[in-house]
Amino acid sequence: MALRLTKAHLIEWRKARGGNSIGVTRCGDATFRWGERTYVMGIVNVSPDSFSGDGLSTVESAVAQGKRFAEEGVDIIDVGGESTRPNSSPISIDEELRRVMPVLEKLVAGVKVPLSVDTYKYEVARRALDAGVRMLNDIWGLKAEPKLATLAAERNVPIILMSNQRDKQQRYIVSAVISDLKMAIDVALDAGVRWDNIIIDPGIGFGKTLEQNLELVRRLGELKALGRPILLGTSRKSMIGLVLDLPLDQRVDGTAASVAIGIANGADIIRVHDVPQMMRVSKMGDAIVRRKRG
């Protein structure tokens, strides 16, 4: 769908779907008041072949990292068991459950910060919610498994919908992402997900070229027309390595730059590996952009 999805069209669409306000989102005992500040999501990868080089091979190390993130003040912890690097091989449901469930169960019992599960598999998501997870993070935006929307609706939990172009690359990336996310939102709403429980993610690095990733960060504010909070995940990604010609362990500065520009352009959540550094970036960004201090 070409971007004759104008801003006026999207405003009318939001009204028709009952989404006149961005509202607030409740996640377990936490409340996200969108627009007041930038929220920080810490990444716990329980995968030996994580693209970011931070894959944790033991339950103990993953739980320790999650607890450290909680102590550092992170707002939500996102646990994933399958690598999302390009050309990675999918793993079975049983293998994903084996990796993530012990970590999720121990973190639910050990931290007060709400947990999210990074999965597109229904059974993994169901088991995670049964264990006390309070948010779903779907990198396929309901294209791989639409029943995740029904699950989110039944459990009344927030769901992150990502725009993923790995199945079909696009030429005009901003219009393609807006169209893709609009369709994902429609699927979620039709399944009974509350408007306030939908979060969108442009999917930096997922089927986009370097120039398209840079363009999405630069034009991130255009996604605001969809009326939902925006999650931005640029942390340690290949676009930073390509621009700066740096390996994974030297991408903190590049991540910080992309996060700061993302906040200036409307990001509501940042999904990061380097929590203390990016929390400082978000605090400084909020002081400038949102006039919020402390």
Judge whether 271 counts as a catalytic residue: yes
Judge whether 237 counts as a catalytic residue: yes
Q: Which residues of 203-229 are buried (b: 16+ CB within 10 A; e: fewer)?
A: bbbbbbeeebbbbbbebbebbbbbbbb
Residue 2 lies in a domain: no
At 4-50, the pLDDT tens digits run 688 888 999 999 998 888 989 999 999 999 999 999 999 999 987 65
Q: Of 106, 236, 237, 251, which residue is the catalytic one?
A: 237
Residue 294 lies in a domain: no
Stretch 118-131: mean pLDDT: 98
Residue 293 lies in a domain: no
Residue 181 lies in a domain: yes
Residue 223 lies in a domain: yes
Residue 120, domain CATH: 3.20.20.20
- pTM here? 0.94
Q: Which amino acid is at 230?
A: I
Count the domains in the chain: 1
The DSSP secondary-structure symbol of 3 reads S
How many Å apart are CA 276 and CA 281, to the nearest integer? 9
Residue 19 lies in a domain: yes
Q: Which domain holds residue 172?
A: 7-288
Alpha-carbon separation of residue 83 from 90, 98, 99, 189, 252 (angstroms): 8, 14, 12, 28, 20
At 150-206, the pLDDT tens digits run 999 999 999 999 999 998 889 999 999 999 999 999 999 999 999 999 999 999 999
Chain CA centroid to CA 38, Å? 13
Q: Of 271, 283, 290, 292, which residue is the catalytic one?
A: 271
Does residue 1 surpass a pLDDT of 80?
A: no
CA-wise closest residue to 235 among 294, 183, 282, 285? 282
The two structure tokens encoding residue 267: 């990001």
